[in-house]
Chains A and B, each alone.
Chain A
Amino acid sequence: MSIVLLRVDDRLVHGQTIEAWVPFCHANCLIVANDEAAKNRIQKIAIESCASRSITIKVEDIKEAVSDINSKDAGRENVMVIVSSLKDAMRLYSWGLKISSINIGNIHHNGGSMMLSPSVFIDKEDWGFLLKFKELGINIDIRAVPADKPLKIENWNI
């Protein structure tokens, strides 16, 4: 499998994801890597209800998702991966997922006070992850929908 997009979005799957991002990156497989969702039967079924013949949707925990994506037999699928936080993105990386770019769409959940975009509010811990990703040479792309202009972080010294 090859990853076409890794997205951080604390609302996981919603309108923007299915209507805008999936067609934009020609994804035919959507992996929601989230420990809570993988354990929650209801949430899992709700997310899987968004699937159709042209896109398969899997809800897996972080570890499972990495081994699924890295497995060779999965063929030529274009995978879009969604995590709910930068922390989970970092966990994907430390379990051995190759990441070249990371899209940050929506972060509202933990009441972070630093605003990167109208839909992204991060806290100190998140900032640490961003610095780490930067050191690793991973491209950081902040935008909610593909039509938006990708924001870059200009000032890293805060």
Chain B
Amino acid sequence: MKFLFWQAFAAAVAGGFISLDRTAAFQIMISRPIVAGPLIGLVCGSLAAGIVIGSLLELLWIGDLPVGGHVPPHETAAAVIAAAVAANAKGIIPEKELFGFCILMTIPFAVLCQKADQGVRMFNKYYYHRAYAEIEKGTASGVGIFNLMAVLTLLIVNIAVFFFFITIGMMGVSRIYYIIPQEIRFAFATLFAVIPVIGIASAFNTAHSNKLAKTALFAVFILFIGLLAWHR
């Protein structure tokens, strides 16, 4: 669990590029926790930790849609930070407790990163006005340049913020963890067991929540329990 500068840096850079996919470029969804988590896990030496963190966060935030003015938490930041910290501390802290702890700790970071993101977006307005002024002056190249500048600003801010939080996480986890009372550690493990249920409920809400949907969910659930029992 020693803090590895290059590991944290690599995770921050990878995370910064992955986050661009959220709003600034491509949007092919590599920024979703289910992709970002395992990738960062791989960078930090534990694919398994990345997979667990990634799939739990994915389920949890499926329902938070960017509809209208609503801004969901920065799910990529959460996945990147939690996966990096979990992969780094895996093998030293009992797994279930560690995963529950990481997810709990990363949620406020996701909200903070969202604020940083919004700040950068305010900055985009400035680039917009600059580009507009360029057109007024008679050159069109500004539109391309300032689009690129907006993306670059976002990338740099993301990398810096991620690196900062990953460093805090990697250095802090070991120190904090051993002063946490045992009851709270057990609560992390229990929480870890309950999170998938919250995630499934969140995903269910996004799809439908009418009677037919509830019936279908129950029927498939029972059918699969039967299938799994029979499979054994």
Do any beta carbons of A and B sit within 8 angstroms of each other in the complex? yes
How many chain A residues sit at the interface, stated as a range, is 10 to 19
Chain B residues within 8 Å of A16, by CB: 67-68
Chain B's nearest CB lies how many Å from the CB of A13?
13
Q: Is the CB of B69 within 8 A of A20?
A: no
Interface flags, A22-64, vs B, CB<8A=1, else 0 = 0000000000000000000000000000000000000000000
Chain B residues within 8 Å of A19, by CB: 65, 67-68
Tell me the bound Cα distance from A143 to B69 in angstroms. Answer: 11
Q: Say yes or no: is B70 at the interface (Cβ < 8 Å to chain A).
A: yes
Interface flags, B76-89, vs A, CB<8A=1, else 0 = 00000000000000
Chain A residues within 8 Å of B67, by CB: 15-16, 19-20, 145
Chain B residues within 8 Å of A145, by CB: 67-70
Q: Say yes or no: is A103 at the interface (Cβ < 8 Å to chain B).
A: no
Chain A's nearest CB lies how many Å from the CB of B62?
14
| Closest A residue to B65 using CB positions | A19
Tell me the bound Cα distance from A147 to B69 in angstroms. Answer: 11
Chain A's nearest CB lies how many Å from the CB of B27?
16
Interface size for B (C-beta < 8 A) is: 5
Q: Say yes or no: is A102 at the interface (Cβ < 8 Å to chain B).
A: no
Tell me the bound Cα distance from A119 to B69 in angstroms. Answer: 9
DSSP majority for the A interface? loop
Chain B residues within 8 Å of A86, by CB: none
Q: Say yes or no: is A128 at the interface (Cβ < 8 Å to chain B).
A: no
Q: Say yes or no: is A118 at the interface (Cβ < 8 Å to chain B).
A: yes
Q: Say yes or no: is A144 at the interface (Cβ < 8 Å to chain B).
A: yes
Chain B residues within 8 Å of A119, by CB: 69
With a 10 A CB-CB cut-off, give which of B65, B68, B69, B70 has the most chain A CB atoms: B68
Chain A residues within 8 Å of B65, by CB: 19
Q: Which B63-77 residues have a C-beta within 8 angstroms of A?
A: 65, 67-70
Q: Which B155-170 residues have a C-beta within 8 angstroms of A?
A: none
Tell me the bound Cα distance from A19 to B67 in angstroms. Answer: 8
| Closest B residue to A148 using CB positions | B69
Chain B residues within 8 Å of A14, by CB: 68
Tell me the bound Cα distance from A20 to B70 in angstroms. Answer: 11
Interface flags, A112-145, vs B, CB<8A=1, else 0 = 0000001100000000000000000000000011
| Closest B residue to A147 using CB positions | B70
Q: Is the CB of A118 within 8 A of B70?
A: no
Tell me the bound Cα distance from A147 to B67 in angstroms. Answer: 12
Q: Is the CB of A118 within 8 A of B68?
A: no
| Closest B residue to A16 using CB positions | B68
Chain A residues within 8 Å of B68, by CB: 14-16, 19-20, 144-145
Chain B's nearest CB lies how many Å from the CB of A11?
10
Chain B residues within 8 Å of A147, by CB: 70
Chain B residues within 8 Å of A144, by CB: 68-69
Q: Which B35-62 residues have a C-beta within 8 angstroms of A?
A: none
Chain B residues within 8 Å of A20, by CB: 67-68
Binding site for B on A (CB under 8 A): 14-16, 19-20, 118-119, 144-145, 147
Binding site for A on B (CB under 8 A): 65, 67-70
Pairs A–B under 8 Å by Cβ, sample size 19: A14-B68, A15-B67, A15-B68, A16-B67, A16-B68, A19-B65, A19-B67, A19-B68, A20-B67, A20-B68, A118-B69, A119-B69, A144-B68, A144-B69, A145-B67, A145-B68, A145-B69, A145-B70, A147-B70
Known A-B contacts: A118-B69, A147-B70. Give 6 more (CB < 8 A): A15-B67, A16-B67, A19-B65, A19-B68, A119-B69, A145-B70
